[in-house]
Amino acid sequence: MSSEQQPREPDDWQQWLVSSVAGLHSRSLFRMLRPTVPGLSAVEASMSQADIDAWAEGRHPASTTLPSLADCTDLRTIKLFSLNDYLGLSTHPAVRQAAANAALQCGNGPRSSALVGGYTHWHAELERALARLKGTQDCLLFPTGFAANLAVAAALCQDGNVTVLSDELNHASIVDGVALARRRGARLLVYRHNDLAHLQQLLKEDVSPGSRTLVITDSLFSMDGDFADLRGLAALKRRHNFLLVVDEAHATLVCGPTGGGAAEMLGVTADVDLHVGTLSKACGCLGGFVACSSAWKDLLVNRGRAQVYSTALPVPVVAAALAAIRVAEEEPWRRQHVWRLARRLGCELGVPVSSPIVPLLVGTEQAAVDASMQLLRCGFHVPAIRPPTVPAGTSRLRVSLSAAHTDDDLRRLTSALRGCGLRFQPWKQLQGEAGSRGVQPADVEPGEVDPEGPCVDLISRL
């Protein structure tokens, strides 16, 4: 449809649309999609110099179609410190081969919901592998991790008489899930981030007798890089008898001796009732899952609307995810390396680091955008994270580390970051009292790690 054929919105909607977009621009909150040319490195992509210039100047990209972008003669290689591919598995030869073999065998697989006909032996095998990884009886796949959180919150609260307690910094998928739960009659209480004293107060004073109680939290918070105090939550659970749901999206395959996640790392796997996760981060693929008991799976198969009414994951994606889990098991050096990089980055920049997600707090939205654009011109993509993703006044650069990054990549990044001329603000000034960032690796196992030393199995120490 040409621009002349575009339908005209009603005047009141047109005015609202123009005003809304202008407001985003004025507050340095406007975002736009930027095409890149991916390659066989999990942490590299190419962009035309024209697109880099347009991005830095806040203009729409010059390249609008794949052929014109791929045929550009001025492509530059960009190092990506912006992705969630923590183990660098998205481009692993075994993962690519598994997807290709499955596609050649059956295309995308049956295109219907899992209940109707989209469930294959690949799906069943992946669910078994995830259940083993998480130490649970069973597992259920979802189209995305977002869908998994929506389904869990809505299904568990379908009959009402439920009180949901949610960490204030939980992921948007949890926030939207508990919003659905409220529509089904659940009561929502939000506790301060990682403040178990506040949570305990709410449990004692605000949960009605006879109400079924659900506590839901991220395990590794995606924008702050800190861990939930799962040990403390497990202790509270034993005293207050609530259901504990933990979203392990960013911790699965990254934390724990076998990659089972933060719950495994902290020794509380058995205290978590439902482990929500994703296949789109360390697994390098796409999809979500809930690892749980067989009884909980039965309920979600029947009441998890985000799964019941969605087409099953394509078979090549499922085959790739299964291969990725096997590679992660066979190549533990990937977890070791990404944790070593995290320690080294913290030492280089003099900032606290507790995970492969390293937030560098700048403060204002424009300062974060300017720093991100300066880094892009230097050949690094480090995104500026701004409201509403994070609270106002806490805009930041978010560095995501991967096992595919090299020591030289990190050296050049730290040099470029210093070139931005920014003094990154201490966490305690922006997040309250010391300790508000939850469990740090040092809390789990004391001792310093030499960031320049040999590749140490940090996970076994965590």
Average pLDDT, the chain: 88
pLDDT at residue number 112? 95
- Copy the structure tokens of residue 204: 């004692």
Provide mean pLDDT across the span 348-360: 92
Summarize pLDDT for 146-185 with one digit per residue, the tens. 999 999 999 999 887 899 999 999 999 999 999 999 998 9
Summarize pLDDT for 112-123 with one digit per residue, the tens. 999 999 999 999
CA distances from 264 to 17, 63, 87 (A): 47, 45, 18
CATH fold of the domain at 93-329: Aspartate Aminotransferase; domain 2 (3.40.640)
CA angle 172, 178, 181 (to 5 degrees): 150
Provide mean pLDDT across the span 366-393: 92
Summarize pLDDT for 94-137 with one digit per residue, the tens. 999 999 999 999 999 999 999 999 999 999 999 999 999 999 99
Cα 147 from Cα 311, distance rounded (Å) = 12
Angle between helices 315-330 and 121-134 (to 10 degrees): 30
How confident is residue 454, by pLDDT bands cut at 50, 70 and 90? very low
Summarize pLDDT for 288-333 with one digit per residue, the tens. 999 999 999 999 999 999 999 999 999 999 999 999 999 999 999 9
pLDDT at residue number 411? 97
pLDDT at residue number 68? 54
How confident is residue 69, by pLDDT bands cut at 50, 70 and 90? low
How confident is residue 247, by pLDDT bands cut at 50, 70 and 90? very high
Give the predicted TM-score (pTM) of the model.
0.88
How confident is residue 352, by pLDDT bands cut at 50, 70 and 90? confident
What residue ranges do the domains of the chain occupy? 40-80, 93-329, 333-461
Where are the alpha helices (H) located in 331-402, listed in sequence order? 333-349, 365-377
Percent with pLDDT over 90 in the chain: 71
CATH fold of the domain at 333-461: Aspartate Aminotransferase, domain 1 (3.90.1150)
Provide mean pLDDT across the span 179-202: 96
CA distances from 307 to 148, 231, 271, 294 (A): 8, 31, 25, 16
Nearest CA to 162 out of 197, 196, 208, 218 is that of: 208
Summarize pLDDT for 406-418 with one digit per residue, the tens. 999 999 999 999 9
Residue 140 has pLDDT above 60, yes or no: yes
Residue 188's DSSP bridge partners are: 164
